[in-house]
A and B are shown apart, each in its own frame.
Chain A
Amino acid sequence: EPEVTQTPSHQVTQMGQEVILRCVPISNHLYFYWYRQILGQKVEFLVSFYNNEISEKSEIFDDQFSVERPDGSNFTLKIRSTKLEDSAMYFCASSERRDYIHFGNGTRLTVT
């Protein structure tokens, strides 16, 4: 069964560094998303992307965050200058329509 693939599975970075989280959505999907889950807390929406542009974003998704679909298969989340509070599990997700939203296995980001 096709799946959403995220790399790396774990990333450690120093505060103030830029980090790029990578995702390969399911190939025929049109909608792409990033969510995050701080340890022990709820899953929170960051951003959704459709038709090569951001369709919706949350308050968390400030100027430090950006997304890109550079080559038609990858979907990336960039955090420009990481803070300690950015430490979380980051999930990429994709869907063909507005239902059946499939998540990847996540990237655990640790900011030291």
Chain B
Amino acid sequence: AQKITQTQPGMFVQEKEAVTLDCTYDTSDPSYGLFWYKQPSSGEMIFLIYQGSYDQQNATEGRYSLNFQKARKSANLVISASQLGDSAMYFCAMREGGVNAGNMLTFGGGTRLMVKP
């Protein structure tokens, strides 16, 4: 089974509107972390947001927020007020295990977001 599933290969959003990028994960470990990264066409990987499995509140970083639904094992990224510069590939990733576990990230297949003017 896939550990990280991003079901939307491509999405369009109108500039200034909000958009939700889906991510579901599969783990039996009670301790894990979830990450979102942005990859523009230039290729770099830009860290956006992190959510720990024990965090009580949903993570937020500026226009990015993570809709963490633990029971559903979903960690959707919400981008508010989309900008043209948000057009990029977005990757969800997971780290499993507690303090003594490794830090390996498992990535999903990505969602290509295109912001329309």
| Chain A residues packing against B (C-beta within 8 Å) | 31, 33, 35, 42-45, 48, 50, 55-56, 58, 89, 91, 93, 95, 98-106, 108
Task: Count A-B contacts at CB 8 Å.
Answer: 60
Note all chain A residues with C-beta closer than 8 A to B35. 101
10 pairs of A and B residues whose beta carbons are closest in the complex? A56-B102, A103-B45, A105-B44, A43-B107, A45-B104, A99-B50, A42-B107, A48-B103, A102-B47, A98-B103
CB closest residue in chain A, given B42: A105
- How many angstroms from the CA of A22 to the CA of B105 in the assembled complex? 21
| Segment from B12-20, B64-72, B73-81, B91-99 that makes contact with A | B91-99
The secondary-structure label for the interface of chain A is: strand
Chain B positions 78 through 117: 1 when the CB is less than 8 Å from some CB of chain A, otherwise 0: 0000000000000101010001001111111110000000
Given contacts A56-B104, A103-B47, 14 further A-B contacts (CB under 8 A): A33-B105, A35-B105, A42-B107, A43-B93, A43-B107, A91-B45, A98-B33, A99-B50, A99-B52, A102-B47, A104-B44, A105-B42, A105-B43, A106-B45
Residues B30-52 near A (CB distance < 8 A) = 33, 35, 37, 42-47, 50, 52
Whether A100 pairs with B47 at a CB distance below 8 angstroms is: yes
Note all chain A residues with C-beta closer than 8 A to B45. 43, 91, 93, 103-104, 106
- How many angstroms from the CA of A43 to the CA of B89 in the assembled complex? 12
A-B contact pairs, 9 of them (CB 8 A): A42-B110, A48-B102, A56-B102, A93-B45, A98-B99, A101-B35, A101-B95, A103-B45, A106-B43
Note all chain A residues with C-beta closer than 8 A to B42. 105
Note all chain B residues with C-beta closer than 8 A to A48. 102-104
Note all chain B residues with C-beta closer than 8 A to A98. 33, 95, 99, 103
Whether B105 pairs with A101 at a CB distance below 8 angstroms is: yes
